[in-house]
Structure 1
Amino acid sequence: MSPTEERWRQAILPVKTSIQHAIRSLDQASIKIVMVVNEAGELEGTISDGDIRRGLLKGLDLSSPIASVIHRNALVVTPEMGRDVVLQLMGANKIQQIPIVNELRQVVGVHLWDEITTLPARSNLMIIMAGGMGTRLRPYTETCPKPLLPVAGKPMLEHIIERAKLEGFSHFVLAVHYLGHMIQSHFGNGGQLGVQIDYLNEKSPLGTAGALGLLSPRPGAPFVVTNGDVITDIHYGELLDFHIRHNAMATMAVRMHEWQHPFGVVQTRGIEIVGFEEKPVARSHINAGVYALEPDALNLLSQDAHCDMPTLFERLQAKAMRTVAYPMHEPWLDVGRPDDLNRANTENSN
């Protein structure tokens, strides 16, 4: 049991206990609230030091039951709720703790402001695919590899590494091919960015997954993979946590793409007109180019053999291994064309 889990478990009290017991629990758990549950284990509410003081001012004593001081409309969250949403709820409601409850309203944890605002270090590997030719970005990429093209004054790759570093990642592997020596010369071993950087050198282009077959030794834990031309505010750590929580072999970040038909659509059955739809909007999930994988997923790759990530997912599915989608809503841009590069510089200039 982790120290945090031990603390919040100490802070769970039955509804029939006394104020004196609640005070003792507040002192021992040191999370500034206790969580009160009924006989079915369901959360009835929370009690803070302030709730107890107000009860004592109303004439209650230490032997009084806690039922009359319970804050019964306590804000709670589910285990699936993301860190950003939890932070917003805690900040908007000026609270330092928020219980986590399951679908049965049983307490399964607690978010503490001091801990949720301090991201833990992650030993998991992050691999960045940076070997592409960038043909659609010519002439910019004739003398510079695409991941080194500047966005708001620094290379795209640097944005990705710094974003992941904020998420607690510190060990990166860059898969390089086209003008890869320029990338290695620029980043070196990562010391200037305060991280460790290693390299996979592709002898020929291996696609968006093929370079993973070059990993030696193989990772001993789940790892994150991202394309080197994706600028996004995605939380890589939350993607990894989602992947682990859902016991997946491979997880793909996806985002909703909407496309509006430029014309009114006529619906027919044979030659009969059965309906009209004026410029309908089609919605679909698209691959965002960011993934989380289990080490065993690498068993389906051959060394120095080309493979794109969708193909790897199809191979996993054919083996009845679980692949899941991670819906993302954060800003995202695949910098594949000159217009995309201009947009990235405009949007990241502030």
Structure 2
Amino acid sequence: MQNIEKLKLQQNSTIKNALEIIDKAAMQIALVVDENNKLLGTLTDGDIRRGLLQGLDLNSSIESIIFKTPTVAKISDTKEDILKIALAKKLHQIPIVDANGKLLGIKEIDELIKPKEKINKVILMVGGLGTRLRPLTDNTPKPMLKVGNKPILQTIVEKFAEYGYANIVLCVNYKSDVIQDFFKDGSEFGVNIEYIFEEQRMGTAGALSLLKNKPTEPFFVMNGDLLTNVNFEHLDSYHISNNSMGTMCVREYDFQVPYGVVNIKDSKILSIEEKPTHKFFVSAGIYMLSPEILEYIPQNEFYDMPTLFEKLISEEKNIISFPLREYWLDIGRLEEYKKANEEYDEVF
């Protein structure tokens, strides 16, 4: 997303201030925010012209000409969602806000249609044995199982490529030749692929110690058995705007107790809850990490991502969550594999 600092205005700004911002930023729009960075509205050249025709001058306040019901997109909206909104409203750009209306960025529609290639690495963990999906994985690594008539891993690679993330690293182990023979150098899929060979199980974080070329920009880490419609560009922007060392995508998980729960204190029954539902956040297996995080990963040892995050939390580093509202499915068992095939055409 575009840097929005150069586009911001306060409600008490003048028309002259607005014209300077619109002219300097060359985006045909200014964004009006309050002191908490909540989006109050937008201002375009057209809004200013109408104000001048009504008798305002360059020193007049913009308050009366702010467009206070602009079309916005949420941080959780996919690329497809945003394009659909923009095309329907014939917009060239859309402000991006969080659930509380806080301004996070602005998306240019031209960039969505033709995304710029980004240098951030995408590291995909695809070396697992897939034991819970046997016998399907006896001769095929789990990421290469077909969902929607193409390997799971191909869908993941193509989704990253849609957002301009073309530098892919595949951490391979089990049946690695199957993955290499299919993807080769990635050029057929519009990406650049390099491979890391795990000679022993390294865990979801340990394999990062084997990187030949250490990332200099924030990078993605994702399990290779997931299907999701998450907007990777929004995750990237969210990570940077929060100055995070590590960002973990989380998914809300509901669990209903199948019985009446009895709350007791000192043998006295206080209440009875009939089949209550408990809600938790669980890791979605997708992360955005800053390069300095690699210093916390031991060399050539098994090391899982939860262990890494626990260490960073204990050292009070800035570790944040990114709630997923989009489609997400972890294909770990046969029933989930079946579900993925049933839903694929509708979702993707």
Same fold (TM over 0.5): yes
Alpha-carbon offset, residue 299 of structure 1: 1.7
2:193 paired residue number: 197
Find the partner of 1:207 among 203, 209, 216.
Answer: 203
Task: Sort the Cα spacing of 1:54 and 1:346 in 2 relative to 1 into closer, same or farther, 3 A.
Answer: same
In the alignment, what sits opposite 1:72? 66
The CA deviation at 1:315 is: 2.1
Instruction: For residue 218 of structure 1, report the CA deviation from its aligned partner.
Output: 1.2
Q: CA deviation at 1:296?
A: 1.9
Report deviation, 1:7. 7.7
Tell me which of 174, 179, 184 is aligned to 1:183: 179
249-258 or 297-306: which moved more?
Answer: 297-306
Distance 1:147 1:223 in 2: 20
Q: Aligned residue for 1:119?
A: 115
Give 2:250's aligned amino acid: V
Q: Which amino acid in 2 is paired with 1:270? A: D
> Displacement, 1:300?
2.2
Counterpart position of 1:341 = 337
Is the 1:265–1:279 Cα contact (8 Å) retained in structure 2?
yes
Distance change (3 Å), C-alpha of 1:173 and 1:259: same
Are residues 292 and 57 of structure 1, via their aligned partners in 2, closer, same or farther at CA, if it must alter by over 3 Å?
A: closer
1:185-264 counterparts in 2 under 5 A? 185-264=181-260
Separation in structure 2 between the aligned mates of residue 216 and residue 149 of structure 1, nearest angstrom: 28
Q: Is the 8 A contact 2:124 2:224 kept in 1?
A: yes
Amino acid at match of 1:162: E
Within the alignment, does 1:156 sit opposite 2:152 as a pair?
Answer: yes
Relative distance call for 1:259 and 1:48 in structure 2 (3 A) is same
Provide the rounded CA distance (Å) in 2 between the counterparts of 1:106 and 1:345: 37
| Cα 1:23/1:280, change in 2 over 3 Å | closer
1:170 and 2:176 correspond: no
Residues 1:214 and 1:27: Cα distance change in structure 2 (over 3 Å): closer
Say whether the 8 Å CA contact 2:251–2:282 is kept in structure 1.
Answer: yes
After the TM superposition, which of the residue ranges 297-306 and 168-177 deviates more from structure 2? 297-306
- AA aligned to 1:247 is N
Q: For the structure 1 residues 124 and 226, does the alpha-carbon distance in structure 2 shift closer, same or farther, using more than 3 Å as the test? A: same
1:77/1:100 contact within 8 Å kept: no
Greater mean alpha carbon deviation, residues 126-135 or residues 340-349? 340-349
Matching residue within 316, 319, 330 for 1:320: 316
1:36 & 1:239 partners in 2: Cα distance?
A: 24
The amino acid of 1:336's aligned partner reads G
Aligned-residue offset at 1:123: 0.4
Determine whether 1:285 maps to 2:291.
Answer: no
Q: Is the 8 A contact 2:250 2:282 kept in 1?
A: yes
Secondary structure of the structure 1 residue equivalent to 2:164: coil
Change (3 A) 1:16 1:187: closer
**Structure 1 residues without counterparts, runs of 5 or longer:** none
Structure 1 residues 258 and 6, CA, compared in 2 at 3 Å: closer, same or farther? closer
Q: 1:5 to 1:293 in 2, by over 3 A?
A: closer
Amino acid at match of 2:66: R
Distance 1:260 1:194, change over 3 A: same
Q: Equivalent residue of 1:75, what SS?
A: coil
Aligned residues: 340
| SS of equivalent to 1:165 | helix
- The 2-side partners of 1:348 and 1:101 are apart by 29
Cα distance between partner residues in 2 of 1:203 and 1:241: 34
The AA in structure 2 aligned to 1:258 is D
3-state SS in 1 of match to 2:325: coil
Distance 1:191 1:319, change over 3 A: same
C-alpha distance in structure 1 between counterparts of 2:202 and 2:24, whole Å: 56
Q: Report the secondary structure of 2:345's partner residue.
A: coil
Q: Structure 1's 72 and 147: CA in aligned 2 closer, same or farther, altered over 3 A? A: same
Distance of 1:216 and 1:328 partners within structure 2: 31
Contact 1:256 1:284 in 2 (8 A): yes
* Contact persistence 1:130–1:175 (CA under 8 A): yes
Structure 1 residues 280 and 194: CA distance shift in structure 2, 3 A: same
Against the structure 1 CA distance between its residues 55 and 298, is the aligned structure 2 distance closer, same or farther, given a 3 Å change threshold? closer
Correspondence list, 1:4-83, <5 A: 8=7, 30-33=26-29, 48=44, 50-51=46-47, 60=55, 70-75=64-69, 81=75
Q: Secondary structure at the match of 1:288?
A: strand
Greater Cα radius of gyration, structure 1 or 2: 1
Deviates more, 1:194-203 or 1:69-78: 69-78
Shift of 1:163: 0.4
1:316: Cα distance to partner? 2.0
